[in-house]
Amino acid sequence: AQSVTQLDSQVPVFEEAPVELRCNYSSSVSVYLFWYVQYPNQGLQLLLKYLSGSTLVKGINGFEAEFNKSQTSFHLRKPSVHISDTAEYFCAVSHQGGKLIFGQGTELSVKP
């Protein structure tokens, strides 16, 4: 069975600092990986996805993530965060064509 673990429930960071949000997954088969962002009182919005090919995936708003098959990880990174990046971030995994399983979420709080 698939599962997703987001290792940090909350990540406080100062503006313009780099940030990494960690995600590990468990699956015995090939997977698709996604990062979604949720701003307060809104639905989820896709940041980026990995389906195949290059392990470094670039998304919107300057975010990127690296697929590491040996470590079963898909960590999200941004070199310099803004106040507007404050939100909840969800990692998700699906077996090709299967159900999308979400992690518990990481609350990113960017302070001035």
Partner 1 sequence: EAGVAQSPRYKIIEKRQSVAFWCNPISGHATLYWYQQILGQGPKLLIQFQNNGVVDDSQLPKDRFSAERLKGVDSTLKIQPAKLEDSAVYLCASSFRHGQSPLHFGNGTRLTVT
Residues that bind partner 1 (CB under 8 A): 4, 32, 34, 36, 41-46, 49, 51, 90, 92, 94, 96-100, 102-105
- At closest approach, how far in Å is the CB of 54 from partner 1? 16
- At closest approach, how far in Å is the CB of 34 from partner 1? 7
- At closest approach, how far in Å is the CB of 46 from partner 1? 4
- Residue placing its CB nearer to partner 1 in the complex, 15 or 49: 49
- Residue placing its CB nearer to partner 1 in the complex, 43 or 112: 43
> What angle (nearest 5°) sits at the alpha carbon of residue 65, between those of residues 62 and 70?
170
- At closest approach, how far in Å is the CB of 57 from partner 1? 13
CA-to-CA dists, residue 26 to 7, 16, 31, 53, 60, angstroms = 13, 32, 10, 20, 26
> What angle (nearest 5°) sits at the alpha carbon of residue 37, between those of residues 35 and 39?
175
- Residue placing its CB nearer to partner 1 in the complex, 15 or 94: 94
Q: Residue 14, by phi and psi: left (phi above 0), alpha (psi -120 to 50) or beta?
A: beta
